[in-house]
């Protein structure tokens, strides 16, 4: 272990309500989680030295193009340093990673990581296109029209051929995730499903079916470090 790396603790968490959140804008959605993460840690936004905001579709599926600026200002954090980052489906984790490094390195003592997405302001085809553009526009999206469930489907078929992974194995992931949704009062979908339900659901990008795929929705989570 590098002795120069400080130990980092999570001192507060905030979990906003996920779902179709047409009742709020992105800053209001983010603040629900940020406020809880502050209260949980007995902090105010002014105590936060740096805020890392993970949001992949800023300016694409919701209106604000510079999400970190808008959200930190709304939260009365100014002049707190901030950055917006994206890392596809791991965007929230990327924000945590940046926040962790700030504290671990000794640059900051008190930071916040926020993951926020607002995807329901645009229609489904538009979202399908924006997410599909995650890869190379020319060689992947335009050339063969891949969607995001399609990118993962490529990996799945290769994995199935190499390791003998089955549709049932993949379905169990969705069954497990829905179970955690069931016991989380802030989750969007709160129903238990079975392997049979997953296998019987309509195809999205084979072998990914409707119940294998994340629904398009809105939500925010924040942690204080």
Partner 1 sequence: MALESKFSEVAENEFYSPAYNKFLSERKLVGSKCKKCGHICVPPKPICPKCQGSEVELADIKGKGKLVAYTVVAVGAPLMVEEGFDREHHYCSGVVELEEGARITARILGMDVTKPDQIKIGAPVTVEYVEAMHSGEKKTFLAFRALP
| Site track 179-198 with partner 1 (rule: CB under 8 A), x = hit | --------------------
And the tokens for 195?
């392997």
- Closest CB to partner 1 among 123 and 185? 123
Residues 152-171 that bind partner 1 (CB under 8 A): 153-158, 160-161
And the tokens for 223?
């942690």
145 is an interface residue for partner 1 by CB under 8 A? yes
147 is an interface residue for partner 1 by CB under 8 A? yes
And the tokens for 220?
């925010």
- Closest CB to partner 1 among 39 and 154? 154
Are 175 and 165 in contact by the 8 Å Cβ rule? The answer is no
> Closest by alpha carbon to 5, among 103, 113, 109, 112?
103
Residues 200-219 that bind partner 1 (CB under 8 A): 202-208
CB-based burial label for 175 (10 Å; 0-12, 13-18, 19+): middle
CA distance 135 to 155: 14
# binding residues, partner 1 (CB under 8 A): 33
Strands 81-85 and 50-54: parallel
**Paired residues of 58 in beta bridges:** 62
Residues 124-143 that bind partner 1 (CB under 8 A): 125-126, 128-129, 132, 137-143
| Site track 50-89 with partner 1 (rule: CB under 8 A), x = hit | ----------------------------------------
Residues making contact with partner 1 (CB under 8 A): 125-126, 128-129, 132, 137-147, 149-150, 153-158, 160-161, 202-208
């Amino acid at each position: 272990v590098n002795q120069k790396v400080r130990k980092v603790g999570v001192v507060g968490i905030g979990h906003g309500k996920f779902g179709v959140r047409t009742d709020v804008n992105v800053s209001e959605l983010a603040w629900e989680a940020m406020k809880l993460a502050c209260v949980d840690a007995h902090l105010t936004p002014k105590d936060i030295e740096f805020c890392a905001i993970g949001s992949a579709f800023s300016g694409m599926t919701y209106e604000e193009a510079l999400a970190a600026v808008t959200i930190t200002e709304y939260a009365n954090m100014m002049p707190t340093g901030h950055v917006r980052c994206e890392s596809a489906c791991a965007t929230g984790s990327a924000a945590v990673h940046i926040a962790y490094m700030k504290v671990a390195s000794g640059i900051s003592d008190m930071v916040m990581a926020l993951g926020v997405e607002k995807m329901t302001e645009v229609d489904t085809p538009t979202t399908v296109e924006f997410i599909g553009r995650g890869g190379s526009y020319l060689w992947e999206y335009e050339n063969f029209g891949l969607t995001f469930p399609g990118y993962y489907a490529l990996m799945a078929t290769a994995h199935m051929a190499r390791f003998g992974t089955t549709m049932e194995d993949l379905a169990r992931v969705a069954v497990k995730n829905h179970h955690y949704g069931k016991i989380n009062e802030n989750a969007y979908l709160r129903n238990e499903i079975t392997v049979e339900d997953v296998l019987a659901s309509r195809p999205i990008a084979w072998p990914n079916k409707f119940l294998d795929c994340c629904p398009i929705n809105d939500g925010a989570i924040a942690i204080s470090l």
